[in-house]
Structure formats: C-alpha cells, structure tokens
Structure 1
Amino acid sequence: MNPKPLFARVAATVIRSALAYVALSVMAPPSSALSTKQAPGTQKPASGTSSQGQVDGFSGLLLTTPDADWQKAWATPSGTTPVIKTTSRVHVGEKLFVVILFGNPSLKDNTADVTCDIDVLRPDGTASVHETALPCYKDPIEGSPEQFFAARPGVAFIGESTDMPGTWVVRVVLHDNNRNVTLPLVTTFVLAKGS
C-alpha cells in the first residue's frame, strides 16, 4: 500500500488527515529525469550541513520552493530535466515547501525502502516539528534507480503573523534501509515580517 503524502505545517503539528492529502495534493509521479549523476554536489560526502549529499551511492537533495504546483514541474517526460523555482525567503502570508528527493536507493526485489526523520527548528532553536521513521518510499522502482524520486513526506510552511521571524532550519535524515545507510541533509529559509 502506498502511503499518503505527509506534509508538516511548521507552526503546528504534522498533518496526517485526508484533508491534508487533498489540500496539499497527491504526489506527482515519484521519479523524474533528473539523474543523481546530473545533480550538482551529489558526489560530496554527507556532512549534515548541506541540502544535498551522497553516502555509499545513495543520494539526497532538499529543494525549497514557493511553488505549490512543484509536482507539475517534477512530472516531466523521460529525458527532460525538471525546472523547479527555489527560494530561501518567505514573508508572512506566503507558502513555502521543502521537497525531499532521493536517488539510487538500494533495491530488494526491485523495491526501495526509504524512511526519513524530519526536524524543523524555529529561529530561537526550539523544535516546531520532530518526526522520526516516517515512510518516505517503500515501493517498486520503475525505470533507473539513479533518477531522483520525490519522497512522500515533505514540509509545507505558511508564514503567519505569530510565527517567529528569522532563519528556520529544516533537518532531514534519509535512511536507505536496504543499504543500511543514513544521509543527513539540512536547509534553511528566512521568514521575513515585511513584504
């Protein structure tokens, strides 16, 4: 059974309801023509201080986008590299999405088994979201496993007037359970009060 996409609303709790499934949309086809070999920086060792990395052939990438329809750009035909607008700044009243991508998972019976941990920290360092062992992807892989695949969970942020302005930190640890490796990734974005 394919898990529903799971997005965390940063200033609240992790969303698991059917409403979130509809409002934040069904994930687009899970793979794209973006290859792990094409992604800049994927050959760097995993350090936990980068939004992209690789460990033992398993790659990960975090994209921060204001585009709620990023799935449409992701669902490109084979051989076409998707273009997704990215940002590192959001204002009160605006939305921002942290998309979790992974590539080259180890396969067992042609099936990937990837879980992830997600932590979102406010500018003062306090936790807004802390989730562990979320099912990211446990499905057969169609096509080359060297393509990037969109994980089922992600982070959806809506800047509200009560949210703390400043730099928010999103930490994601991807676990390739078939390979028994972990890949820590981190990205940040700034919530600005003015427009």
Structure 2
Amino acid sequence: MNKIPKIIHYCWFGNAPLPEKCKTNIQSWTRFCSDYQIMYWNNENFDFGVSPYMLSAAAHNEWAFVSDYARLFVLEKYGGIYLDTDVEIVKSLDEFLALDMFTGLEDFDSIATGLILGSQPNNNKLKDLMNIYDSKGANIQNNKFVRTTCVEITTKYFRAHGFKYKNKIQRVNNCTIFPTSFFCPQRPGTKKCQGQFKNVGFRQKEM
C-alpha cells in the first residue's frame, strides 16, 4: 500500500522564463510517471505569507531559498515527491511510494532535497524543518537575508537524529536516505562518477 501519493511537485519562482532544458526534464516525469499529478508552484499560486522566512526570501528575490521552503510546505500539506527542474528521470518512481519519507545524498556527508524528496502528508519531520527556517526568518535583523542552504539545514537536522557520514542506505527517524549511486551518481561540479545507477534509473542532469 502506498504511503506517498502519486504527486510530483516542482517550483519555479521569479520572473525568468523556464529554460528549455528544464521543460525537457519535466517531460521525462510525465513520460515515466504518466499517472502522477504534476503540481507546479510559482509566484501566482504560492502564498509567501505562510512563513516569515518566505516573506523575507521573496522580498530579497532569493528564489532558490523560496523553493527550499516551498517544497517542505507543499509536501507536508499534500504529500508526494519533489524534484528540482534540473532533474531528469528515466524510470517510474513507484517503488518509493511505500516509504514514509525518502531523499538522497549528493555526497557522503550532504543530504540534498533538491535531488529528490518524497513524503507522505502531515509529516512532523517536514514541520521540524520548516520551524528551523521560520526561526531564521524571525531573527533577521538590519534587513539582511540569512542564506543557509537546504543541504546545510537538512543534513544538520538528520545528523542530530542519527545520520552518519557514510555513503550507504540509511533509515533515520523513519526517513530513508539513499546513497549517491541512486540519485546523484556524479559528484556535483565534476564529471567524476561516484557509482552506478541502482534499482531506479534517475540522474541529475545539470552538474
């Protein structure tokens, strides 16, 4: 029985047009997950007022950070799977739907929710992560935006719950964290391969 609903979420905030290469990636989602609902979040349909952090990020045009929070919010509300637009899939994601929550490593010590983040709705871990962001938004002084990446925040959170700096499958606080060979076979910023694809054919297209 599936715990995670068949929904793929993605975000594109700001005024820049969506690049053609991202449109191609999205086409791969509809090709291999044809029975999934695709939910597209943008300036028109997402309420930045749900969070002080979001209000600050949007006011400073920090759209990547807006996306960091938005993915947590929509997954907590609707459940599903979040993908960045620079991610292409080459196989169905159905095999992950029985999990409570899952994500992947971009390196042995870095959890990257932009690669993929799946969850059932009403997940307290997502609420915990949003609270961390909200505390940063509430503490902003002198109109300065706090630039802390989702990799830093998520890795630190799961580290406190038992995540080890090891490139292997780990189940931490009911979240399955997959090694680089699943979702990030190349080291970001290089052409160095960190492993072979396993079980699911999934790759990050832009390095």
Confirm or deny a common fold (TM above 0.5): no
Structure with more relative contact order (C-alpha pairs < 8 Å, separation 6 or more) = 1
State the TM-score, normalizing by the size of structure 1. Answer: 0.27
More helix by share: 2
